[in-house]
């Protein structure tokens, strides 16, 4: 079985594949054009896919009729046409759980960085602009006893809520498709409507799985309904927020600040006006960027490929319905 890995991943995952006798191959160059990427994919029985720059849509599946499986090196799978994968009986693996703590750490970090204007103040020091003590200059806000709203309280959202409650005694509101009874019992989290979530949260943190219906969900009309002291945090997918509307909400003081580990589009332009605002912190999509998380992701992705090579179900499958013949 030939496995195409489009970018280098931690050695533990590659070693697992090779120990099972799978033929692993990589691109000869670091940056691939769409055409070259497709050529490599056409040579593979399975793909271990890193990144989201290429889409697995109907045209892709048509061009790769012999493909047996895709193992994503990510939790999210919004760049894959799952319905088309199901139609062609192709399992799509992902890497849940292993990056929940690491990604929630970044959301927690962004919340504090924005609240205390950390990026802005670091830039002042770096630019030699420390200045004299001014009791009224660039004040932040404290998080103690504030309300944290979670949009999408799954594994990552739960970790973010738990950290925030223990560190700052924050009250937890959440909006989900389904209630999270564990969070309600352990964190006294309250299930609310989307309208109540955006209107009552001092910090609103996005952790849901992204789907096309979520495109620009956090837009002008939503920001207008948020509290003036609210901090918007997004570590899920950049498509959740409209960046022009976010900028206008910040500059018109409809909301207080924003922390982003994902942008719309990615990568963010260095000329994006959001980067000039003192109550904004932007990171380059580093949610899972720890040794522990990335090694764990490599292990799960390899396990998914190995299972397919042995004729078994993927243990970490984003479309388990493929095994029941669902189209």
Nearest to 17 by CA among 315, 294, 320, 300: 300
Q: Which of 116, 241, 285, 294 is catalytic?
A: 285
The number of helices, as runs of H, and strands, as runs of E, in the chain is 12, 12
Question: Which residues have a Cβ under 8 Å from the Cβ of 167 and sit 6 or more positions away?
Answer: 108, 143
Q: Is 88 a catalytic residue?
A: no
| Six token digits for residue 292 | 């522990």
SS3 191: strand
The Cβ-side half-sphere exposure at 89, using a 13 Å CA radius, reads 7
Cα distances (angstroms) measured from residue 72 to each of 48, 78, 120, 305, 317: 6, 11, 36, 10, 10
Q: Which of 20, 215, 224, 266 is catalytic?
A: 266
Q: Is 266 a catalytic residue?
A: yes
Question: Which residues have a Cβ under 8 Å from the Cβ of 291 and sit 6 or more positions away?
Answer: none
Cis peptide before 267 (omega within 30 of 0): yes
Q: Residue 269 carries which DSSP code?
A: P
CA angle, 298 then 300 then 305, to 5°: 95
Nearest to 95 by CA among 318, 247, 268, 284: 318
Nearest to 57 by CA among 212, 208, 207: 212
- Cβ count near 190 (within 10 Å): 16
| Six token digits for residue 158 | 């739960």
Q: Is 123 a catalytic residue?
A: no
Cα distances (angstroms) measured from residue 251 to each of 70, 199, 203, 227: 43, 19, 18, 14
Q: Which of 117, 237, 241, 294 is catalytic?
A: 237
Residues designated catalytic: 237, 266, 285
């Amino acid at each position: 079985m030939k496995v195409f890995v489009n970018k280098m991943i931690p050695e533990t995952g590659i070693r697992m594949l090779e120990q099972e006798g799978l033929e692993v191959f990589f691109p000869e160059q670091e940056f691939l054009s769409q055409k070259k990427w497709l050529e490599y994919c056409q040579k593979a029985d399975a793909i271990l896919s890193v990144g989201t720059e290429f889409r697995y849509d109907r045209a892709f599946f048509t061009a790769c009729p012999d493909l047996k499986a895709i193992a994503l090196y990510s939790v999210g799978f919004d760049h894959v046409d799952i319905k088309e994968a199901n139609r062609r009986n192709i399992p799509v693996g992902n890497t849940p759980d292993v990056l929940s703590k690491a990604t929630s750490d970044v959301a927690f970090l962004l919340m504090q960085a924005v609240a205390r204007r950390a990026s802005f103040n670091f830039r002042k020091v770096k630019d030699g602009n420390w200045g004299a003590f001014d009791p009224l200059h660039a004040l932040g806000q404290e998080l103690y006893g504030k309300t944290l709203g979670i949009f999408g309280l799954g594994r990552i959202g739960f970790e973010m809520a738990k950290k925030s409650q223990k560190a700052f005694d924050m009250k937890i509101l959440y909006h989900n498709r389904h209630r999270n009874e564990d969070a309600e019992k352990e964190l006294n989290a309250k299930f609310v409507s989307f309208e109540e979530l955006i209107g009552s949260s001092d910090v609103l943190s996005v952790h849901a799985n992204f789907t096309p219906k979520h495109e620009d969900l956090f837009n002008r009309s939503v920001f207008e309904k948020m509290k003036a002291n609210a901090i918007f945090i997004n570590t899920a997918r950049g498509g959740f927020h409209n960046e022009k509307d976010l900028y206008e909400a910040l500059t018109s003081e409809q909301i207080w600040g924003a922390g982003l580990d994902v942008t719309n589009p990615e990568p963010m332009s260095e000329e994006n006006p959001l980067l000039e605002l003192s109550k904004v912190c932007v990171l380059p999509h580093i949610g899972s960027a720890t040794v522990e998380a990335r090694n764990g992701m490599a292990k799960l992705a390899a396990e998914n490929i190995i299972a397919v090579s042995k004729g078994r179900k993927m243990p970490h499958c984003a479309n388990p319905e493929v095994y029941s013949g669902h189209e």
